[in-house]
Amino acid sequence: MEAAGVVIVGAGIAGLSAALASAEAEDVCVIAGEGPRTSSSARAQGGLAAALSEGDDPALHAADTLRAGAGLCDAQRVRELTEEAPGVVAWLAQFGVPFDRDSSGRLALGREGGHTRERIVHAGGDATGHFITEALWQAAARHPRIDIRREHCVGIAQDATGRAVGVWTWDGARQRFVAARRAVGLATGGVGALFGRTSNPPSAVGAGVALAYHAGATLANLEFVQFHPTLWLGRDGEAMLLSEALRGAGAVLVTEGGPPLFADPADNLRTRDVVALAIARAEAEGHRVYLDATQVRDVAARFPSIAARLRRAGLDLASQPIPVTPGAHFLMGGVEADLAGRTSVPGLFALGETACTGVHGANRLASNSLLECVVMGLRFGEAVREEPVGMHPPEDPVWLLRPEQDQAAVPELAPILWRSVGLVRDETGLRAALVELEGMADRYPGSGAVLAASLIARSALWRRESRGSHVRMDALAPVPAYARPSRMCKAHRAATSVAITT
C-alpha cells in the first residue's frame, strides 16, 4: 500500500503552499492532475492584497473586505487574514517570486475594486498567479519530502469511523489507493467552468465540492459565485480576463459609441458585483460594453500578457476599446473550513477556493483569493502536526468520481447554469434548472460537475434575497433573516437531495 504523511489534491497556489509548509515535518504526496499550469492560480492576472504602504493598515484592509462581503464575512477570520498578509508576501519572496518594484526598489502597489488604498502586489505586471505558481512548483519539485503524481483524485477514502485516511486516484488506465497517515487536503479550485463563460480553466468543475460532499463534509454558501465584470471573449470561444488592475490604472468602461458606463469615473472601481450588474443591465438594453485603456500610460508594457493575447486576435489595447462581458470567476462558498482548512470530517481539510472560510462573505474583495491560498497553506502545515498518526484500513468507497462523465456533462451544464443560476436569477428559472439537473444526475451518476451544479442551484433557490455577488429578480433587496451562511450536508437520500440547515 502506498502511503504518505499528508496527501494533497491539487497543485495550484493553495495546494503547493500547503505541501511546502507540511513538508517541514511530514512526507507529502501531491496529486497534481494535469499540473499547476492548468490551475486557476496560474491564470490569476491580478495580484495579492497586503497592507504594506505608509498610511495603510491591516485594519483598513479588513474593513474593505468586510464591506465587500455584504454582511456574511467572519470578522475574526478576516482580521487574521489581513494581519498575516505582509508576512505572506515575505514568505513568497523567499521562493524567488519576482514581485514588481518601483525605481527605488520598493514594492509597486496597485489598487483594485473595493480597496481604499494601494495595496496590491503584482509580478510580471499581469501575470502574478503564473509567477507565484511557478516558483512554488519548482520548490515543491526539488523538495526531498514531496512526491508529485500526475494523477486525478476520484474518491476520498474513509475508515469505519468516517475519518479521511487517503484517496483513490486514476491515471487514465488504473485506479490506486494512496493512504494518508495524518491528513488529506483538497485544493481542487472552483466551479467556473460549469457556467461556460468563465475566466477559470476547464478543470474548474467543482470536483473538491463533490468529493467532500460524498465524504459527509458540511458545505456552505455555494450560491455565492462571483462574476467578474470584464472578460473578453475570443472568436475561438476562449475567454480571457481583463484584469481589474487595468481599471485601477485608469481604464474606464464605456458603452458602444463611447459614452461612459458610469457617470462618476470612480464607480469603475466599485466592487465586482456592482460593476458586473451594471454591464449586464447595459447588455439587456442592447448595448455592448467596452473597456477603454487607451489613456493608460504605457499600458502594453504594464500589462504585457493581456496586450500580447489581444494582439494575436488583432486588437490593440493601447489604441482601441476592448469588448467585455461578465463571466463566472470565483466561488465564495465551498467546503466549510477554518483558516487551517479543517472541515467537519476528521482528517479532511479543504484549502483555497475549494474551502469556504467566511473571509469572502457574499462577495470577494479583489486579490484576497491568492492571499487566502497562502495563509491557509501555511496554517495547514502547522495544523497537520496536531493530527493523530495512524494507518487505518479504508472502507469500500461509497462513490467514485468518473472524469469521463464530467467531460460529457459540462457542455450540457453550461447553458443551464448561465441562463438560470448566473448573475441574475429568479425562482422560476432555478426550479426549472433543478429539474434539468436532476435528469442529468440520472444519466451521469459519477459526475462531480453535475452534483456540484445541483448543489449550487439548490442553495441559490433557498436564498430568496439579493446579496453580494448575484441578484434575485423576485427578491431585489437583502433580507435580514438571510444575513447568515447557508449550510448543507449529504442527506440519506439521492446524491442530489440536500438538507439546508441554519
At 311, which CATH number? 3.90.700.10
Buried b (16+ CB within 10 A) or exposed e, 75-99: eebbbbbbbbbbebbebbeebebeb
Could you tell me if residue 25 is inside a domain?
Answer: yes
Q: Does residue 121 sit in the same domain as residue 21? A: yes
Could you tell me if residue 481 is inside a domain?
Answer: no
The CATH number linked to 441 is: 1.20.58.100
Last residue of a domain, one of 310, 327, 344: 327
For 228-295, the DSSP string reads EEEEEE-TTS-EEE--HHHHHTT-EEEETTS-BS-SSGGGGGS-HHHHHHHHHHHHHTT--EEEE-TT
Give, in order, the Cα–Cα distances in Å from 9 to each of 16, 46, 188, 291, 409: 10, 24, 6, 37, 22
- Output the pLDDT for position 497: 39
Q: Does residue 87 sit in the same domain as residue 183? A: yes
Q: Does residue 111 sit in the same domain as residue 191? A: yes
Dihedral sign for Cα atoms in the order 33, 366, 456, 156 = positive
Q: Does residue 133 sit in the same domain as residue 242? A: no
Q: State the residue range of the domain holding 467.
A: 402-475
Weakest-pLDDT range from 83-92, 119-128, 345-354, 429-438: 119-128
How confident is the model over 195-224, as pLDDT tens digits? 999 999 999 999 999 999 999 999 999 999
Q: Does residue 353 sit in the same domain as residue 435? A: no
How confident is the model over 222-266, as pLDDT tens digits? 999 999 999 999 887 778 899 888 998 999 999 988 899 999 999
Q: Does residue 201 sit in the same domain as residue 254? A: no
What domain count does the chain have? 3
Structure pTM? 0.94
Q: Does residue 320 sit in the same domain as residue 265? A: yes
Q: Does residue 60 sit in the same domain as residue 41? A: yes
Average pLDDT, the chain: 93
Q: Does residue 68 sit in the same domain as residue 7? A: yes
Catalytic residue annotation? 272
Q: Does residue 336 sit in the same domain as residue 319? A: no
How far is residue 132's CA from residue 45's CA, in Å, rounded to a whole number?
11
How confident is the model over 31-62, as pLDDT tens digits? 999 888 888 888 888 899 999 999 999 999 99
With bands split at pLDDT 50, 70 and 90, how would you rate the model's confidence at 113? confident
Cell output for 154: 476520484
Could you tell me if residue 356 is inside a domain?
Answer: yes
Q: SS3 of 337, please?
A: coil
For 96-159, the DSSP string reads T--B-B-TTSSBPEE--TT-SS--EE-BTTT-HHHHHHHHHHHHHHH-TTEEEE--EEEEEEE-
